[in-house]
């Protein structure tokens, strides 16, 4: 008997998962609403080097401040998926640029569209079937009377052919949703499943970025390092040089607060730097999920991954690395499940275990989301103070921007607060935030290692209570 998997969404996570499953002999079909030429975003993102390496890509080597390798672009618009300019060290400014830190940056600038196309081609070469112009409209499932994620048994989904307008019922042993934060399939489940909740508006950042021509022909150009301006306008502003001819300028702000438009902030920055020339090469505007991850990614016959599960780094919105790691972990669980002809929640729970217990990601992302919310309540002046007093020091920022929550480092911060530094209102806020984040981290480190409805429900109630406490404070 064959084991059929349907993957909805051909982004990096969905395509990589399809590749791994097809290589393992599983019958897998990918349904993607766009065409091949429209896959992914038309810009380059910072993606975790370790994730791309784990995916088996031919990773470049660092020579000075340039990447060298078969997948590195040699010219503007040339072949390859990696931008030539390397950022091994990143400058991090306070919002008012009164303080500056230098951190190790564990990411590589990667062309999102070309990465997606490469992984789709690899999936097809492994035997996966890709159906473009097909959009997921809702899950097919049975209800068994239980309350919780074990109360539904998914056996397929409805695919909408955008070319013909025909809707078709697709049956599968497991349906994977990797279609983005809209998470249409997940939300089609009944509320009692615990999987259908919508993300809150505060879980998003509004991001605008532009890749512009770049001609550093005068001393002024040296004042545009690869940098983050962290905490700026409730979010962050960055510049990443791509090569000798182009630079990426972007801003992310809170999506639930009126007033700050990221495009206007970018235009003001560009106006101050003549080395950045007129004429947008690539770029765009989008929402970016930065909230806590879902507390569960599975039901019988169903798995949700990537942005649909809110697994981006909360401090930066970088989500490709998480989608890749989740795809690799899910492939391990599903390949084993296929051998046993299983698709039950107890078996698929292994994906939760890998994310929350076998890696730092789940607990770190949940804790960093707590800190993000607190930092977004502070003014530029208050954040400048925290930078200047080294309460937001290089090690703390390095961990946070790279997606790690380091409890020992934050415990040191708590001790520093007890030393009677000036500006008590800010320190009180930081004290509350660090304590809240540490409690969240410890709670998520005690995630249930196997499916047990009573244990999971108790754990989830406590996780929800921690969020309510956070929302009350901020």
Selection from 382, 359, 357, 369 nearest residue 439 by Cα: 369
> What pLDDT, on a 0 to 100 scale, did the predictor assign at position 78?
64
DSSP 173: S
Triad 11, 15, 16: Cα angle to 5°: 115
> Nearest 5°: phi and psi at 9?
115, 120
Contact by Cβ (8 Å): 39, 139? no
Contact by Cβ (8 Å): 281, 289? no
What does DSSP say about strands 204-213 and 89-93: parallel, antiparallel, or unpaired? unpaired
Three-class DSSP category at 353: helix
> Nearest 5°: phi and psi at 25?
90, 10
> What pLDDT, on a 0 to 100 scale, did the predictor assign at position 150?
96
70-77 contacts, C-beta under 8 A, 24 or more apart: 73/111, 73/243, 75/243, 76/242, 76/243, 76/245, 76/246, 76/281
DSSP 334: H
> What pLDDT, on a 0 to 100 scale, did the predictor assign at position 258?
66
Q: In whole angstroms, give the CA distance from residue 340 to residue 294.
A: 27
Selection from 225, 210, 242 nearest residue 89 by Cα: 225
> Nearest 5°: phi and psi at 264?
-65, -35
> What pLDDT, on a 0 to 100 scale, did the predictor assign at position 415?
61
> Nearest 5°: phi and psi at 266?
-65, -45
> What pLDDT, on a 0 to 100 scale, did the predictor assign at position 390?
85
> What pLDDT, on a 0 to 100 scale, did the predictor assign at position 436?
87
Residues in the chain: 474
Tell me the CB-side half-sphere exposure of residue 157, using CA atoms within 13 A: 32
**What CATH number was assigned to the domain covering residues 4-40+115-200+291-359?**
3.50.50.60
Alpha helices in 223-302 (DSSP H): 262-271
> What pLDDT, on a 0 to 100 scale, did the predictor assign at position 92?
95
**Integer angstrom CA distances of residue 192 from 139, 244, 461, 463:** 15, 54, 14, 17
Q: In whole angstroms, give the CA distance from residue 152 to residue 143.
A: 5
Q: In whole angstroms, give the CA distance from residue 75 to residue 245.
A: 9
pLDDT in tens, 90-127: 999 999 999 999 999 999 999 999 999 999 999 999 99
Selection from 417, 425, 428 nearest residue 390 by Cα: 417
Number of C-beta neighbours around residue 321 at 10 A: 29
Q: In whole angstroms, give the CA distance from residue 193 to residue 187.
A: 10
pLDDT tens digits for the chain (474 residues)?
Answer: 489 999 999 999 999 999 999 999 999 999 999 999 999 889 999 999 999 999 999 999 999 889 999 999 986 556 899 999 999 999 999 999 999 999 999 999 999 999 999 999 999 999 999 999 999 999 999 999 999 999 999 999 999 999 999 999 999 999 999 999 999 999 999 999 999 999 988 899 999 999 999 987 665 555 577 899 999 988 999 999 998 899 999 999 988 876 789 999 999 999 999 899 999 999 999 999 999 999 999 999 999 999 999 999 999 999 999 999 999 999 999 999 999 999 999 999 999 999 999 998 999 999 999 888 888 888 999 999 889 988 888 998 999 999 999 866 666 665 665 555 556 677 777 778 888 899 999 999 999 999 999 999 999 999 999 876 666 555
Q: How much is the CA Rg of the chain, to the nearest whole Å?
A: 22
Q: In whole angstroms, give the CA distance from residue 288 to residue 291.
A: 9
Distance separating the N- and C-terminal Cα atoms of the chain: 54
Strand order in the sheet with 4-8: 129-132, 27-32, 4-8, 174-177, 302-304, 298-299
DSSP 306: G
Contact by Cβ (8 Å): 407, 322? no
Q: In whole angstroms, give the CA distance from residue 459 to residue 86.
A: 42
């Amino acid at each position: 008997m064959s084991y059929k998997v349907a993957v909805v969404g051909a982004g990096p996570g969905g395509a990589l998962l399809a590749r791994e499953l097809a290589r393992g002999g599983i019958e897998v079909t990918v349904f993607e609403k766009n065409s091949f030429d429209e896959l992914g975003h038309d810009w380059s993102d910072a993606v975790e080097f370790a994730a791309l390496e784990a995916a088996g890509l031919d990773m470049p080597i660092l020579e000075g401040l340039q990447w060298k390798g078969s997948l590195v672009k040699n010219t503007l618009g040339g072949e390859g998926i990696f931008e030539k300019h390397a950022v091994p060290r990143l400058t991090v400014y306070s919002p008012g640029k009164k303080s500056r830190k230098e951190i190790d940056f564990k990411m590589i600038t990667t062309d999102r569209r070309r990465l997606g196309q490469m992984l789709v081609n690899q999936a097809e070469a492994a035997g996966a079937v890709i159906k473009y112009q097909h959009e997921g409209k809702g899950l097919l499932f049975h209800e068994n009377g239980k309350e919780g994620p074990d109360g539904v048994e998914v056996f397929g989904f409805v695919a909408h052919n955008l070319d013909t307008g025909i809707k078709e019922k697709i049956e599968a042993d497991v349906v994977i949703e990797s279609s983005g934060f809209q998470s249409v399939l997940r939300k089609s489940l009944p509320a009692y499943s615990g999987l259908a909740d919508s993300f809150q508006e505060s879980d998003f950042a509004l991001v605008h970025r532009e890749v512009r021509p770049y001609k550093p022909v005068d001393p002024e150009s040296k004042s545009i390092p690869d940098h983050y301006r962290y905490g700026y306008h409730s979010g962050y502003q960055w510049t990443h040089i791509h090569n000798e001819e182009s630079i990426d300028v972007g801003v992310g702000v809170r999506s639930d607060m009126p007033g700050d438009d990221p495009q206007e902030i970018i235009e003001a920055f560009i106006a101050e730097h003549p080395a950045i020339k007129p004429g947008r090469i690539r770029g765009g505007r989008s929402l970016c999920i930065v909230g806590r991850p879902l507390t569960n990614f599975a039901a019988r016959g169903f798995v949700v991954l990537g942005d649909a599960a809110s697994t981006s780094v909360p401090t930066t919105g970088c989500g490709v690395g998480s989608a890749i790691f989740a795809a690799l972990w899910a492939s391990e669980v599903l390949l084993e499940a296929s051998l046993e002809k299983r698709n039950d929640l107890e078996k698929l729970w292994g994906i939760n275990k890998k994310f929350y217990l076998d890696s730092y990601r789940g607990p770190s992302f949940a804790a960093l989301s707590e800190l993000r919310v607190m930092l977004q309540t502070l003014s530029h002046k208050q954040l400048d103070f925290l930078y200047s007093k080294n309460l937001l020091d290089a090690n703390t920022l390095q961990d946070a921007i790279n997606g790690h929550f380091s409890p020992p480092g934050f415990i040191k911060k708590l001790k520093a607060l007890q030393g009677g530094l000036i500006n008590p209102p800010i320190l009180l806020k930081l004290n509350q935030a660090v304590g809240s984040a540490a409690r969240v981290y410890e709670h998520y480190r005690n995630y249930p290692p196997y499916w047990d409805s009573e244990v999971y429900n108790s754990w989830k109630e406590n996780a929800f209570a921690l969020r309510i406490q956070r929302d009350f404070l901020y």
